[in-house]
Amino acid sequence: MPGRLKALAQSRAVWPLLALALILIVAGSVSPNFFEIRIVEGRLFGNLIDILYRAVPTALVALGMAVVIGTRGIDLSVGSIIAIVGAVIVWRIKMGDPHITILFSALAAGILCGMWNGFLVSALKIQPIIATLILMVAGRGIGMLINQLYGGTDPSFESALLQWMSTGSIWLIPTRLILAAGIFLALWLLIRRTALGLFIESVGGNAAASNLAGVKAGLIIFVAYVLSGLLSAWAGVIMTADTHTSDPVSVALYIELDAILAVVIGGGSLAGGRIYLGMTVIGALVIQALTTATLISGLPPEYNLIIKALVVLSVLFLQSANARRAIGSLVLRRSP
Amino acid sequence: MSKKYLPLAATVAVFLALFLVGGSMYRNFLSTLVLGNILADNAFIIIAAIGATFVILSGGIDLSIGSMIGFVGVCMAVLDSMGWHPLATAAVMICFGILYGALQGFIIDYCDIQPFIVTLAGLFLLRGLCFMVTLESVPIRHDFVDLYASAKLPLPGRGVLRSSALVMLAALAVAIFIAHFTRFGNNVYAIGGDKESARLMGVNVRRTTVGIYAIGGFYSALAGVVYALYTSSGYPLAGSTLELSAIAAVVLGGTLLTGGVGMVAGTLFGGMILGLISTLIIFHGSLNSAWIMISSGVLLFAFIVLHRFLVSSFDLRGTS
Amino acid sequence: MNATANLKPRVEMRSIGKSFPGVRALSSVDFTLYPGEVHALLGENGAGKSTLIKILTGALSRDAGEIRLDGKPVSFNSTGEAQAHGISTVYQEVNLIPAMSVTKNLALGPSRGALGVISWGKARKRARGKLSRLKLNIDTEQPVGSFSVAVQQLVAIAHALDDDTSVLVLDEPTASLDAQETATLFGIVSDLKARGMAIVFITHFLDQVYEISDRISVLRNGNLVATHMASEISRQDLISEMIGRELGEVEATLAHKAETGPGKQKLVARDLGRKRTLKPFDLTLHAGEVVGLAGLLGSGRTEMTKLIFGAIRSDSGEIRVDGQDMSGATPRRSLASGIAFCPEDRKAEGLVGDLSIRENIMLSMQAKRGWLRQLPRRDQEKIAAEMIRALGIATPDAEKPVRQLSGGNQQKVVLARALASNPGILLLDEPTRGIDVGAHAEIITLIRKLCNDGMALLVASSELDEIVAASDRVAVLRDREKVGEIDGADINRDNIIRMIAGDDGGQH
């Protein structure tokens, strides 16, 4: 039995799931009706559903971030990509495009942004944190520009398709959850049912060895950033649908930090290598559950940030052998 | 001219070019009045960027700058409402900044965790503490604030150097001294250039790292003090995304984000370029912050590509 | 220069032992240093030279044995401590900060008051003083990276030399120097020697060893082979000690060499070369033939295999595989046309540590198929299991991350990956590196078997006996140039050594 317990403790899946369970239990103990689920207007409602619901944009961005981090990179521009996508959506709506075209335009905008990032990192060989910083700085400005040129003075809109995506539901389940599940499935198939996942993990783990083994590292890295752009675009579609407007200045502020956090909680290492798609989603759920639990428990929402900070550090300490050793030697006064 | 001065030269050139462009487009642009205003309005960004320069020179990064500015501001406001003199609170907050920075540096080196993550936690932590202190803007009413606002040093022409600008210039002088005339400064450049070589050459990497982030904390806190006095209030959202502007100012100032190359003086010009861009746009009358962001991005791109092709020529092994 | 007999040793290292996970780096090695002598330390990669020196200079801790400095036992926990005791090192990779000026580099060091103010005027004077003692007169305000490697070496030496330095370790100091610069360096070394400094000289250039050293110690596979006075051992015996005798078993496989001649030409390289890397060479590989690549460290063995594989881009000549022109090939293209490559440095270039054994084995095969057509999991497991069995990889489970395996087993995984892609041509760089000695024969037998099955093989190795046992033909390299080939019956240790050493004494 102890052997099994040890293996469980070392399994990557344990910690994020444990954290999630812990948060939910604490929330449940503070608020008696926490786990209640009702059906209102043909749709499921309840705190648990709410957590899933609100976590979708972050989870989508986090999935793209997980892929990029797998190649030993990072994408700081995801928030700005969402800003651009929002502006593009309003633009195409005002131009009277049919629904499907609007959707494709939004996704195309995200893919273009991803290609730009990918070009900087794999062709110009610029460090990822620096390369994506450029779009991060300029992106919201681009979004604002598009708004000014095409959105008119009022960048808000009405769109049946987007409304449905945002608040609609299919058979009781909110549309966005089904959408997110579909996207997750597609990504999972792409990463796990083709060799792409293997190549990404290989390139992130050891790019030189991968090249010698015949893997085209440059191309793989490029594709990773395009995927991140695409997934951010999906998140942008949903977030824009939620607010009925394009607000490049403040939409998705800090989402890149939440996304990186979700990936790290899910077990991914910033140094590249293994991708944990499922656990990344759990990581996003943990972050959202934290926020919801903080709200429910009556604590002022500002505490959320501090708790997040503590979660970051705790996760790192647990995952970093160095840190564990450091604490161990400090506590036990053993010579290192 | 030695290759390593090229980025700085590029920065100064861009600054002068922008200034001249403004002068050709608008009357009254080429004046010390405009210059003085740019310095005063952007003093706090430049101060924060000076601290960030040390961190980036060593090859690290500090994401907690903006949150520190917010936190220092709200603390000053709250303590002011309790009757403290702003200079006293400033002293306390700056000490806090130094200690907090040192703690970050220690965690980064001792636990071997990437600076990005550690300072990210700092970003969340300090911002959260901001909101715990107050949810809304709190004014600073002490008489000192008026004294601070009215103090100025006249420049030739119609311009003046206000207190914020004076504080910034003094802070810059100290930074230049530390960076270029002390062993510590030499060590910072060494660690940024090649950490392992520096270690093998006998540099105490741990002590230097703690010092670097402590300096970062000092300057972030000082920036917070300046900002609070400048706006005569403490606002919990102050400094949001400011770390980004600070990093941009550092890069535009000619410092390589990979570390080891750059000058603190360059950051002054980098910050002024950012200030110039917004001034130009304000003069234009459209107050279009979209163009500010886009042009910052374009400039950043140009500088980064320039830096990229310079970095390869610094490679030792490239000589064979 | 043999006054050492009456002097007390400055440094005594006795029975030094050191192990890393999976490999025994040093076994009971003795090493002494007398003041005023130059003591050369020789050995191939993996012989243990770096480990021994790192233990001496405090960069590594030892597992066994003791170190005495001027008769007193010492134990260094850091390089700083060793430096404080007067032991300084100049590393092979020049450890200076390239973008900083010479003055600034020389001002770096263990801090005596870290915040102390630097007067650059004084620092410049001190720098110039240190350099002038080494007869170097340069503009110390220029970034150190802008000078030639020779000058950088001297600056690094100046940095290492303090007033109280009594032991200087030079690790491959002449690797990037030409004859003139080397002469200057040796002049300085002689000066330091005359002033009573004890100097350790690590190198693979035998001429230089004889030119400057008083005593020579040879390490092999973590053991001290012998220590000689330089005047008492011949070149050939020295080479013999460095890369010679291993196991008698290996010779048994000699008997299994095929009697039939080589098959058709698989790979023809003509005038293939790259400036500053390898002089243009010709080489032909036939099916059913093993070509061994012999030469000392630094002679270009790895570079030749990489040039053929396309991992290093050539700037001259051409290469044809099965008649097809392969110039400008990438590793991907080479794999597609049936060439597989096992790199020497498996950690940096061979394995992806976090991936499982199965994934590492499958990687090249999958790269060949492209990203879309994933090899079904069941097939992957089958192939992995086959490879594990065929090569005797000791692991209960193919899903373990490969970095958990011992060094020898890791090496086998690299081999497995290459074999899994079903190559017609196999390039092996140090295939027995890090495999424990008993398993070497296994690998040699495997190489012969592959050869008999029709594969064309190129095997670069520092283990001379294994080259002799495995090869049908041997290409010899010296100083980045192919100097000749030895065929069939003429293949034996002496002939190879003679060709490496060069009858004319060889200029380095």
Is residue B121 within 8 angstroms of chain A, CB to CB? Answer: yes
- According to DSSP, residue C376 is labeled P
Is residue C142 within 8 angstroms of chain B, CB to CB? Answer: yes
Q: How far apart are CA B51 and CA A307, in angstroms?
A: 27
Min Cα separation B181/chain A (Å): 29
Which of B117, B127, B303, B307 is most worth mutating to test chain A (most A CB atoms within 10 A of its CB)? B117
First to last CA, chain C: 24
User: What's the rounded mean pLDDT across residues B172-184?
Assistant: 94
What is the per-residue pLDDT for C247?
A: 42
Estimate to the nearest angstrom the gap between the alpha carbon of C487 and the chain centroid: 26
**Number of other residues whose CB lies within 10 A of the CB of residue A127:** 17
Is residue B154 within 8 angstroms of chain A, CB to CB? Answer: no
Residue type, B112: D
Burial C395-407 (b: 16+ CB within 10 A, else e): beebeebbeebbb
Tokens of C204: 């693979």
Q: How far apart are CA B207 and CA B187, in angstroms?
A: 10
Is residue C121 within 8 angstroms of chain B, CB to CB? Answer: no
Cβ B213 vs Cβ B108: under 8 Å: yes
User: What percentage of chain C reaches a pLDDT higher than 90?
Assistant: 32
Longest dimension (CA), chain B: 67
Q: How far apart are CA A187 and CA A198, in angstroms?
A: 14
Contact C96 B316 (CB under 8 A): yes
What is the per-residue pLDDT for A85?
A: 95
User: What's the rounded mean pLDDT across residues C169-183?
Assistant: 81
Q: Mind listing the pLDDT tens digit for each residue in C80-109? A: 788 888 898 888 777 899 889 999 999 887
Please enumerate in sequence order all residues whose Cβ is within 8 A of that of A41, keeping only pairs 6 or more positions apart, or say none.
Answer: none
Tokens of C488: 């069939």
For residue A129, give the chain B residue with the closest CA.
B257
Tokens of A59: 């989870």
Helix ranges (DSSP H) in B58-162: 65-81, 86-110, 115-133, 143-150
Contact A209 C352 (CB under 8 A): yes
CATH assignment, B3-319: 1.10.3470
Q: According to the 3-state scheme, what is the secondary structure of C303-318?
A: HHHHHHHCCCCCCEEE
Contact C367 A193 (CB under 8 A): no
Comparing A18 with C3, the larger pLDDT belongs to: A18
Q: Which of chain B's residues have a Cβ under 8 Å away from the Cβ of A301?
A: 131
Min Cα separation B72/chain C (Å): 27
Tokens of A209: 């060895």
Min Cα separation C218/chain A (Å): 32
Q: Three-class SS of residue C101?
A: strand
Sign of the CA dihedral with C228 first, then C231, C233, and C236 last: positive
- According to DSSP, residue A123 is labeled I
Residue type, B248: A
Q: Which of chain A's residues have a Cβ under 8 Å away from the Cβ of C348?
A: 206, 208-209
C364 closest CA partner among C319, C325, C422:
C422
Q: How far apart are CA C158 and CA A198, in angstroms?
A: 49
Q: How far apart are CA B314 and CA B72, in angstroms?
A: 40
C106 closest CA partner among C148, C71, C155:
C155
Residues 278-307 of A with CB under 8 A from B: 300-307
What is the per-residue pLDDT for C5?
A: 57
* Nearest-by-Cβ selection for B111 from A253, A306, A323: A323
What is the per-residue pLDDT for B4?
A: 65
Q: Three-class SS of residue C47?
A: coil
Q: Which of chain B's residues have a Cβ under 8 Å away from the Cβ of C104?
A: 186, 189-190
Lowest mean pLDDT among B55-59, B311-315, C17-21, C277-281: B311-315
For residue A126, give the chain B residue with the closest CA.
B308
- According to DSSP, residue A121 is labeled I
Residue with tokens 């234009």: B284
What is the per-residue pLDDT for C248?
A: 44
Min Cα separation C355/chain A (Å): 7
Please enumerate in sequence order all residues whose Cβ is within 8 A of that of A202, keeping only pairs 6 or more positions apart, or say none.
Answer: A209, A210, A213, A215, C352, C355, C359, C363
Q: Three-class SS of residue C289?
A: strand
Cβ A287 vs Cβ A262: under 8 Å: yes
Is residue A72 within 8 angstroms of chain B, CB to CB? Answer: no
Rg over CA atoms, chain C: 25
Residues 257-276 of A with CB under 8 A from B: 257, 260-261, 264, 270
Q: Which of chain A's residues have a Cβ under 8 Å away from the Cβ of C311?
A: 211-212
Is residue B232 within 8 angstroms of chain A, CB to CB? Answer: no
Contact B314 C111 (CB under 8 A): no
User: What's the rounded mean pLDDT across residues B63-76?
Assistant: 95
A280 closest CA partner among A266, A259, A292, A297:
A266
Comparing C245 with A293, the larger pLDDT belongs to: A293
Tokens of A5: 């317990």
Tokens of C170: 């030079």
* Nearest-by-Cβ selection for C371 from A199, A205, A212: A199
Lowest mean pLDDT among A101-110, B36-45, B160-169, C72-81: C72-81
Is residue C149 within 8 angstroms of chain B, CB to CB? Answer: yes
* Nearest-by-Cβ selection for A209 from C350, C362, C374: C350
Which of C308, C333, C361, C371 is most worth mutating to test chain A (most A CB atoms within 10 A of its CB)? C371
Is residue A137 within 8 angstroms of chain B, CB to CB? Answer: yes
What is the per-residue pLDDT for B319?
A: 31
Sign of the CA dihedral with B50 first, then B54, B55, and B56 last: positive
Q: Mind listing the pLDDT tens digit for each residue in C117-137? A: 888 898 899 899 989 888 888
User: What's the rounded mean pLDDT across residues C23-40?
Assistant: 89
Chains that touch C (3 or more CB pairs under 8 A): A, B
Q: How far apart are CA C40 and CA C28, in angstroms?
A: 19
Q: How far apart are CA C166 and CA C56, in angstroms?
A: 13
Contact C370 A195 (CB under 8 A): yes
What is the per-residue pLDDT for C239?
A: 75
Domains of chain A: 29-34+41-298 (1.10.3470)
Residues 43-72 of B with CB under 8 A from A: 61
* Residuewise pLDDT in 10s, chain A (336 residues): 455 655 555 666 777 888 888 888 888 887 777 787 877 777 777 888 888 889 999 999 999 999 999 999 999 999 999 999 999 999 998 888 888 899 999 999 999 999 999 999 999 988 898 899 899 989 999 999 998 888 666 667 777 778 887 777 777 778 889 999 999 999 999 999 999 999 999 999 999 999 999 999 999 999 999 999 999 999 999 999 888 888 888 888 889 989 998 998 888 888 888 999 999 999 999 989 888 888 777 777 777 888 878 877 777 776 666 666 666 666 665 444
**Number of other residues whose CB lies within 10 A of the CB of residue B285:** 8
Cβ A280 vs Cβ B102: under 8 Å: no
| Strand arrangement of the beta sheet that strand C23-33 belongs to | C23-33, C11-20, C64-69, C72-74
Tokens of B154: 């006249």
Please enumerate in sequence order all residues whose Cβ is within 8 A of that of C432, keeping only pairs 6 or more positions apart, or say none.
Answer: C411, C439, C440, C443, C444, C461, C463, C466
Read off φ and ψ for residue A255, nearest 5 degrees.
Answer: -65, -30
β-bridge mates for residue C14, sequence order? C66
Q: How far apart are CA C349 and CA C334, in angstroms?
A: 17
> Which range has highest mean pLDDT (A118-122, C262-266, C323-327, C465-469)?
A118-122
Spell out the long-range contacts of A297-304 with Cβ–Cβ below 8 A and sequence spacing 24 or more: A297/A26, A297/A27, A297/A30, A297/A31, A298/A30, A300/B131, A300/B132, A300/B135, A301/B131, A302/B128, A302/B130, A302/B131, A302/B132, A302/B135, A302/B236, A303/B128, A303/B131, A303/B132, A304/B128
Q: Which of chain B's residues have a Cβ under 8 Å away from the Cβ of C53?
A: none
What is the per-residue pLDDT for C142?
A: 87
Is residue B74 within 8 angstroms of chain A, CB to CB? Answer: no
Contact A213 C355 (CB under 8 A): no
First to last CA, chain B: 23
Q: Which of chain A's residues have a Cβ under 8 Å away from the Cβ of C349?
A: 206, 208-209, 212
Tokens of C63: 């597992």
β-bridge mates for residue A169, sequence order? A174
Question: To the nearest whole number, what is the mean pLDDT of chain C?
Answer: 84
Which of C77, C78, C307, C354 is most worth mutating to test chain A (most A CB atoms within 10 A of its CB)? C354
Burial C310-323 (b: 16+ CB within 10 A, else e): bbbebeebebbbee
Q: How far apart are CA A140 and CA A84, in angstroms?
A: 7
Q: Mind listing the pLDDT tens digit for each residue in C396-439? A: 788 888 888 877 788 889 999 999 988 999 999 988 876 666 66
Q: How far apart are CA C472 and CA C462, in angstroms?
A: 17
What is the per-residue pLDDT for C249?
A: 45
Q: How far apart are CA B171 and CA C283, in angstroms?
A: 66
Min Cα separation A322/chain B (Å): 6
Q: How far apart are CA C416 and CA B76, in angstroms?
A: 66
Chains that touch B (3 or more CB pairs under 8 A): A, C
β-bridge mates for residue B182, sequence order? C117
Q: How far apart are CA C90 and CA C152, in angstroms?
A: 11
Chains that touch A (3 or more CB pairs under 8 A): B, C
Read off φ and ψ for residue C402, nearest 5 degrees.
Answer: -65, -20
For residue C376, give the chain A residue with the closest CA.
A193
C371 closest CA partner among A115, A123, A216:
A216
Residue type, B281: I
Model-level ipTM above the cut of 0.90: no
How would you classify residue C98: left for phi > 0, otherwise alpha for psi between -120 and 50, otherwise beta? Answer: alpha
User: What's the rounded mean pLDDT across residues C380-399?
Assistant: 88
Residue type, C201: F
What is the per-residue pLDDT for A1?
A: 47
Contact C363 A198 (CB under 8 A): yes
Please give the model's pTM, rounded to 2 decimal places.
0.82
For residue C334, give the chain A residue with the closest CA.
A214
Is residue A309 within 8 angstroms of chain B, CB to CB? Answer: yes
Cβ B198 vs Cβ B206: under 8 Å: no
Q: Three-class SS of residue B162?
A: strand
Q: How far apart are CA A279 and CA A12, in angstroms?
A: 8
* Nearest-by-Cβ selection for B294 from A145, A305, A322: A145
DSSP B25-51: HSTT-SSHHHHHHHHHHHHHHHHHHHH
Cβ B76 vs Cβ B90: under 8 Å: yes
